[in-house]
Each structure stands twice: as structure tokens, then as C-alpha cells.
Structure 1
Amino acid sequence: MPLSVRHVYVVMCDVCRAEYTDPETEVVAWFEDETSAEQITRADGWLILARPWPDRFICPRSDADHQARMDDLMPPEPVIQIPGQLGLDGTEEPW
């Protein structure tokens, strides 16, 4: 019986390390390529970041750790202060 090498992809959440399981069989899903893994997990509610990111897959679980990771991905809130208006910190923007 010949042996052959076959590479498969298993998706794990980069926050909690949970493996993606097939919703019908509850068995860990194996994917033949990265693109199909992204498409199927995204359709099942996972957040998939762009490929250059080191931590790319985030499961739909909503707890403090997952929320903190999502908050880290958000850009900083803009600081808008009209010239002459007092800021919340008590400073005044020059005219």
C-alpha cells in the first residue's frame, strides 16, 4: 500500500484556540486550501482578517477576550475639537 503526503488546513481561533467544526457533523473540518477555509468559515460567522496578518481567524464566540481582540483591531476614535471650544480635558483649542 503506497503512502502519499497530503497537506490539509485546520482552522483555529487565534483568540481561544477553538477548532472550526463542521456544523452538521460536529467533527473538526479539514480544508484542501486556504481560500476554501476562509470562505467556509466566513460564511459560518467567523471573522477572517487579510492574509498578511499573523492572527487571522476569530471565532464568533462573544466573551471578554474576543471583544478585547476586536477592540484592538478598531482604529482609534477621532478627536474632534472646534477651535475656541473647551475640550473635555479642560484645554482650549487656539483660534
Structure 2
Amino acid sequence: MGKFFIDTTQGTVATQRQLMDSGVAGDDGIPPKPWHRIQGTDDATTLWYAVMRRQEKGIFIGSLVIRHSDHHALLLERGWQEVPVEEIGPTVPHPF
């Protein structure tokens, strides 16, 4: 899958490739704000990693965690939401 980004205003999550294919990100692969890179490995796959999100102080933040790990369970206990794989992708193109 690769690099993941989160729209900090809506909580939408997408991969860098999805953002480039939809025209949200340019050829450099960097999408404009409000998209923010979710820190993690550059070759993350949803087979091994869960994409998590949580709203904090009016914005959405994201995290990648190894599925079924203690950290994954802790985030769920603390109110984080796992983003379903079928929901990963840009839904509304954002203007540059």
C-alpha cells in the first residue's frame, strides 16, 4: 500500500497513490493541507497494519499500528477508531 495520509478536517484516510491518481496530490506526491502524512513505514500494508484515527481538539489525527498488538488494543481502549479498509481513499477532491 505505501504511505497513508489523513484529512485533518474530515478524518478521511487515503494512500499517497490514491491521492495522486485522483489529482489531489501532484507529481511530487505531496497533498495540500488539510492532508497530513500519518507517520509510519513507507511500505505499510493493511494486511499487517491497522490505520487508526481519533478526533482531538477539533482535528483528526492518525496512526499506523500493527494489527492485534498490545498497542492496537490500547488505542482502541482509549477511543481510537480503526478505519475500515474499504473506507480508505479520497472521497471528495480538495482544491489546491
Report the TM-score, using the length of structure 2 for normalisation.
Answer: 0.29
Higher relative contact order (CA 8 A, sep 6+): 2
Please identify which structure carries the higher strand content.
2
Report the TM-score, using the length of structure 1 for normalisation.
Answer: 0.29
